[in-house]
């Protein structure tokens, strides 16, 4: 067990927050941003990680140590092989199949005992609270054992969280008739029509349904929930969620806005597979708002046939594009196709990135005029903050709900029209979106016209509101300040007893 830390003489006087992210890129990255924000507001932070994930974050860890920020990284051995996972499989994006999802969650739960022993040995200041990914239901017991409050965080927005709450506790799917697929979700301030396949329960695996039920029940026992969102974006749903849960909802985002310079943007998450200077130089050579950025996040596994259709559609659109390709085990098949003329034909207006991309840096560049996205919440927020309208291509989990928010409620994007979810951990060829449709949708978003102008104006205004929310006097800034003050007050009361 290693403990990489940066501290100063006054750390033991600060409220001590322990952050326990789910080992997945879309969960770790915002929690690292959260750690920075908590430290800026006067907290000492310990972020729990594992050896493989710590190595991915090494540049961030080194930078924090150099700047003497009050953030510590506690690396715990991850019991991969003990639960039947491949050795070194410590992140959800490395899990080879959805059949091993329950094994991965079991390995996470085995972190409770070593973490408890670490703090019981008083190797660090005693924690004053835990902020846990909602998927770590074992932290509920850990918080009780340590005698501290527990807050949850799971990387969703308030809209998706309240919809998810209604789905579960109103037993929507269980009460539906077998011959009915479309339904209206009750309890929202507007009409929301959904299909069964687009509900959040489409993300599953063997044994996951029992886990989901336990997760939802334990989540309600938390002191409150921290949400990477801001009031001007989701205020009606903040209120709905607070009423549904009966606990405080702390909107503390968009947390990605903590990263203000290029180096901070580049080194978030995994090590990049392309040189950031090459990427910036390419973007600098393009006209403002002319480039479409295409990326489906870290967990989606797009089939080779679908990747080929996307590529040919992008080529036919005649728009400059940055395309992030993650082909997984089928990389050789895609590489062969790319080398058979595609890269040569598009070389003057395309930048292809294999693997991890510096997304925040890319979206923040003035050359970007659109984002084809899987509708993960981090990507949705980052696009809104950058004032970039979206083409929505959801895959699974809450992404179809985020699409509803983007397209129907906020009206800052257009849908590619995906009907069926992709089963996580698989590559599916069914329901291919053809190259002609990709071309038409890209052209609709990127070619100047009234629809594009209105979307750009609306998303640009949201971007301005997002930045204000994180500045002193803004709603998210104030919530983070109040949270740290609340835990500091509890800490001082304990010391006086």
Nearest alpha-carbon partner for 294 in 273, 326, 324: 324
Give all strands (DSSP E) within 108-227, no chain letters.
Answer: 129-133, 150-153, 182-184, 193-195, 224-227
Place of tokens 């595609």: 342
Nearest alpha-carbon partner for 372 in 306, 315, 291, 305: 291
Q: Which residues share a beta bridge with 292? A: 321, 370
Q: Are 446 and 390 in contact (CB under 8 A)?
A: no
To which H or E segment does residue 444 belong? helix 435-446
At residue 2, the pLDDT reads 46
Measure CA of the first residue to CA of the last residue in the chain; give whole Å. 33
Phi-psi region of 147 (alpha: psi -120 to 50; beta: other; left: phi over 0): left
At residue 184, the pLDDT reads 87
Q: Are 54 and 326 in contact (CB under 8 A)?
A: no
Q: Are 105 and 85 in contact (CB under 8 A)?
A: no
The SS3 call for residue 325 is strand
Q: Are 295 and 373 in contact (CB under 8 A)?
A: yes
At residue 7, the pLDDT reads 42
Nearest alpha-carbon partner for 244 in 173, 326, 163, 124: 163
The SS3 call for residue 350 is strand
Q: Which residues share a beta bridge with 371? A: 293, 390
Chain centroid offset of residue 38 CA:
18
The SS3 call for residue 374 is coil
Question: Cα–Cα distance between 464 and 81 in angstroms, integer?
Answer: 47
The SS3 call for residue 258 is helix
pLDDT digits (tens, 9 = 90+) for 374-400: 999 999 999 999 999 999 999 988 999
Q: Are 47 and 72 in contact (CB under 8 A)?
A: yes
The SS3 call for residue 251 is strand
Phi-psi region of 374 (alpha: psi -120 to 50; beta: other; left: phi over 0): alpha
- Output phi, psi for 5, to 5 deg: -140, 155
Angle CA 73–153–98, to nearest 5:
90
Q: What is the DSSP letter of 134?
A: T
Q: Over pLDDT 90: what percentage of the chain?
A: 70
Assigned token pair, 97: 């199949």
CATH number, span 272-466: 3.40.50.2000
Q: Are 410 and 462 in contact (CB under 8 A)?
A: yes
Phi-psi region of 122 (alpha: psi -120 to 50; beta: other; left: phi over 0): left
Question: Cα–Cα distance between 301 and 335 in angstroms, integer?
Answer: 15
- Output phi, psi for 336, to 5 deg: -65, -45
Question: Cα–Cα distance between 176 and 182 in angstroms, integer?
Answer: 10
At residue 131, the pLDDT reads 98
**Cross-sheet strand order for the sheet of 44-49:** 2-5, 71-75, 44-49, 16-20, 129-133, 150-153, 224-227, 248-251
**Cα–Cα distances in angstroms (integers) from residue 344 to residues 352, 439, 494, in the given order:** 12, 19, 67
Q: Are 36 and 265 in contact (CB under 8 A)?
A: no
**Residues 49, 54, 56, 59: is their CA dihedral positive or negative?**
positive
Q: What is the DSSP letter of 138?
A: T
The SS3 call for residue 296 is coil
pLDDT, the chain, mean: 90
| The domains spanning 2-258+470-496 and 272-466 adopt the same CATH topology | yes
Place of tokens 């509101």: 465
To which CATH superfamily is domain 2-258+470-496 assigned? Glycogen Phosphorylase B; (3.40.50.2000)
Question: Cα–Cα distance between 101 and 207 in angstroms, integer?
Answer: 9
Nearest alpha-carbon partner for 45 in 494, 487, 493: 487
CB-based contacts of 275: which residues, under 8 Å, 6+ apart?
Answer: none
At residue 431, the pLDDT reads 77
Size of the chain in residues = 497
Domain boundaries, the chain: 2-258+470-496, 272-466
**Residues 31, 35, 40, 41: is their CA dihedral positive or negative?**
positive
Question: Cα–Cα distance between 444 and 369 in angstroms, integer?
Answer: 12
Per-residue pLDDT of the chain (497 residues; tens, 9 = 90+): 444 444 444 677 899 999 999 999 999 999 999 999 999 999 999 999 999 999 999 999 999 999 999 999 999 999 999 999 999 999 998 998 888 999 999 999 999 999 999 998 876 789 999 999 999 999 999 999 999 999 999 899 999 999 999 988 888 877 776 666 788 888 898 888 888 778 776 666 667 778 888 888 899 999 999 999 999 999 999 999 999 999 999 999 999 999 887 777 776 666 555 678 889 999 999 999 999 999 998 888 888 999 999 999 999 999 999 999 986 656 788 999 999 999 999 999 999 998 889 999 999 999 999 999 999 999 999 999 999 999 999 998 899 999 999 999 999 999 999 988 887 666 555 578 999 999 999 999 999 889 999 999 999 999 999 999 999 999 999 999 999 999 999 998 888 77
Question: Cα–Cα distance between 446 and 370 in angstroms, integer?
Answer: 7
């Amino acid at each position: 067990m290693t403990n990489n830390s940066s501290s100063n003489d006054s750390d033991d006087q600060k409220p001590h927050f322990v952050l326990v992210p789910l080992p997945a890129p879309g969960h770790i990255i915002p929690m690292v941003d959260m750690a920075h924000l908590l430290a800026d507001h006067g907290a000492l932070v310990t972020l729990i990680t594992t050896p493989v994930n710590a190595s991915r974050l090494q540049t961030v860890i080194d930078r924090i140590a150099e700047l003497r920020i009050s953030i510590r990284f506690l690396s715990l051995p991850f019991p991969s092989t003990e639960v039947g996972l491949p050795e070194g499989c410590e992140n959800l994006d490395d899990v080879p199949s959805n059949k091993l999802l329950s094994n991965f969650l079991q390995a996470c739960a085995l972190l409770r005992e070593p973490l408890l022993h670490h703090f019981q040995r008083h190797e660090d200041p005693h924690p004053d609270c835990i902020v846990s990914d909602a998927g770590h239901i074992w932290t509920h017991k850990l918080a009780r054992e340590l005698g501290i409050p527990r807050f949850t965080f799971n990387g969703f927005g308030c809209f998706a969280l309240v919809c998810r709450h209604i789905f579960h506790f109103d037993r929507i799917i269980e009460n539906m008739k077998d011959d009915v697929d479309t339904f209206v979700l009750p309890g929202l301030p507007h009409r929301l029509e959904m299909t069964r396949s687009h509900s959040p329960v489409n993300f599953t695996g063997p044994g996951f349904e029992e886990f989901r039920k336990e997760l939802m029940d334990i989540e309600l026992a938390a002191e409150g929930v921290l949400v990477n969102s801001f009031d001007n974006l989701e205020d009606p749903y903040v209120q709905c969620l607070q009423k549904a849960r009966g606990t405080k909802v702390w909107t503390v985002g968009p947390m990605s806005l903590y990263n203000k310079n290029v180096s901070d943007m580049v080194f978030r998450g995994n090590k990049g597979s392309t040189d950031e200077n090459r990427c910036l130089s390419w973007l600098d050579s393009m006209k403002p708002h002319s480039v479409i950025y295409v990326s489906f996040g870290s967990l989606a596994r797009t089939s080779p046939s679908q990747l080929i259709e996307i590529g040919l559609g992008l080529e036919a659109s005649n728009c400059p594009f940055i395309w992030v390709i993650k082909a997984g085990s089928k990389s050789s098949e895609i590489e062969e196709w790319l080398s058979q003329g595609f890269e040569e034909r598009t070389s003057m207006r395309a930048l292809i990135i294999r693997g991890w991309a510096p997304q925040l840096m890319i979206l923040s560049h003035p050359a970007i005029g659109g984002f084809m996205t899987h509708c993960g919440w981090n990507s949705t927020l980052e696009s809104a903050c950058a004032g970039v309208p979206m083409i929505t291509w959801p895959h699974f989990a809450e992404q179809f709900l985020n699409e509803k928010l983007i397209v129907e409620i906020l009206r800052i994007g257009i849908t590619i029209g995906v009907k069926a979810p992709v089963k996580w951990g698989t590559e599916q060829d069914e329901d291919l979106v053809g190259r002609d449709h990709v071309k038409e949708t890209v052209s609709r978003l990127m070619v100047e016209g009234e629809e594009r102008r209105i979307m750009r104006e609306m998303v640009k205004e949201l971007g301005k509101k997002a930045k204000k929310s994180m500045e002193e006097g803004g709603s998210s800034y104030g919530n983070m300040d109040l949270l740290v003050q609340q835990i500091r007050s509890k800490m001082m009361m304990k010391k006086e007893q």
